[in-house]
Amino acid sequence: MSAAPILQVEDIAVTYSQLIPALRGVSLTVPSGSIVALLGGNGAGKTTTLKAVSNLIRAERGELTAGRIVYRGDATTDVEPWTLAERGLVQVLEGRRCFARLSVEDNLRLGAFVRRPDRADLEADLERIYRIFPRLKERRKTLAGYASGGEQQMVAIGRALMARPSLVLLDEPSMGLAPQVVEEIFETVAALNRDDGVSFLLAEQNAAITLRYAQFGYVLEGGRVVGKGNAQTLLQLDTLRDAYLGSGKAGIDGRTRKSHRSRGQREHRKLTGTAFR
């Protein structure tokens, strides 16, 4: 953990629609070349933290009301998300968003857009993604909407990798996937980190698997950091053990469940811009 940080989040607060506080005083550091976990249950503030870093919160009427975020030594204030992507900071959104009506390969091509590569470059990058995810090569002509959940997650990650990122903000890659597929995805993350030096800030409810791969982690609750440390330290935390490791009330198989209500609330908010009662 001695490397210079690629990302520093300094005491940030985020509010949605000017009245709903989502984060209060969150600070974290991602050392260059590391995998850092951001753990916590539903509504803890994981996605908000990632979107604050990528400057995507503004699209949801979110606002950074305090603190600052520094990526590779420069404050990200007012830097557009695509400019950050050009500089190597990309986000893989929660729910493995793909363009359902485009082929797997066209989804991947879109990821390279920020680099404006020439044809040869683009083809070389596609081949690289197919080496990382051989299954996507077999499925490259398939419409992404017909790909399996695991394949869609690979497309979402592959698309981010087409931007040749230095730091990937990865939001709940395990969500809704079978354990074996989750394992495969995490192995890929570990390989990219080890072989290509890609740094990751990885938001997850599934602490058990995440802490096998991350060197360091933070636990969020109610928009605050309530714990931090290396995997061993965090695994000793009562809050984490009870809530996310299956020994307490919420955990079943190592993760808490996304409730349909919370999804419904979120969709409602997106559609109407109001809170759901």
Ligand X SMILES: Nc1ncnc2c1ncn2[C@@H]1O[C@H](COP(=O)(O)OP(=O)(O)OP(=O)(O)O)[C@@H](O)[C@H]1O
Give the footprint of Mg ion on this chain (CB under 5 A): 46-47, 94
CB nearer ligand X, residue 65 or residue 262: 262
Binding region for ligand X (CB under 6 A) out of 1-9, 42-50, 80-88, 136-144: 42-50
Taking CB under 6 A as the criterion, the residue among 31, 33, 45, 251 binding ligand X is 45
Query: Is residue 269 at the binding interface for ligand X, with CB under 6 A as the rule?
Result: yes
Query: Is residue 43 at the binding interface for ligand X, with CB under 6 A as the rule?
Result: yes
| Distance in Å, CB of 43 to ligand X, minimum | 4
Instruction: Give the H or E element holding residue 260.
Output: helix 260-272
Expressed in angstroms, the distance from the first to the final Cα of the chain is 44
Residue 43 phi, psi dihedral angles, 5° rounding: 75, 10
Q: What is the largest CA-CA distance in the chain?
A: 53
Please give the angle made by the CA atoms of 265, 268 and 271, to the nearest 5 degrees: 155
Query: Is residue 244 at the binding interface for ligand X, with CB under 6 A as the rule?
Result: no
Query: Is residue 176 at the binding interface for ligand X, with CB under 6 A as the rule?
Result: no
Taking CB under 6 A as the criterion, the residue among 32, 42, 142, 215 binding ligand X is 42
Query: Is residue 47 at the binding interface for ligand X, with CB under 6 A as the rule?
Result: yes
Q: Mark 103-138 as b/e (b = at least 16 C-beta within 10 Å).
A: bbbebbbebbebbebeeeebeebbeebbebbeebee
Query: Is residue 259 at the binding interface for ligand X, with CB under 6 A as the rule?
Result: no
CB nearer ligand X, residue 167 or residue 203: 203
> What are the angstrom distances between the C-alpha of 201 and each of 92, 102, 175, 178?
10, 28, 16, 22
Instruction: Indicate the pairing of strand 5-16 with strand 20-31.
Output: antiparallel
Binding region for ligand X (CB under 6 A) out of 45-53, 148-156, 179-187, 188-196: 45-53
Task: Provide the 10 A C-beta neighbour count for residue 251.
Answer: 22
Nearest residue to Mg ion, scored by beta-carbon proximity: 47
Which one-letter DSSP state was computed for residue 18? T
Query: Is residue 216 at the binding interface for ligand X, with CB under 6 A as the rule?
Result: no
Candidates 55, 49, 41; CA nearest to 25 is 49
CB nearer ligand X, residue 86 or residue 221: 221
| Distance in Å, CB of 47 to ligand X, minimum | 3
CB nearer ligand X, residue 166 or residue 205: 205
Taking CB under 6 A as the criterion, the residue among 8, 34, 48, 206 binding ligand X is 48
> What are the angstrom distances between the C-alpha of 207 and each of 79, 145, 229, 235?
32, 29, 13, 9
List residues near ligand X by CB under 6 A.
16-17, 20, 22, 40, 42-48, 60, 94, 205, 258, 262, 269
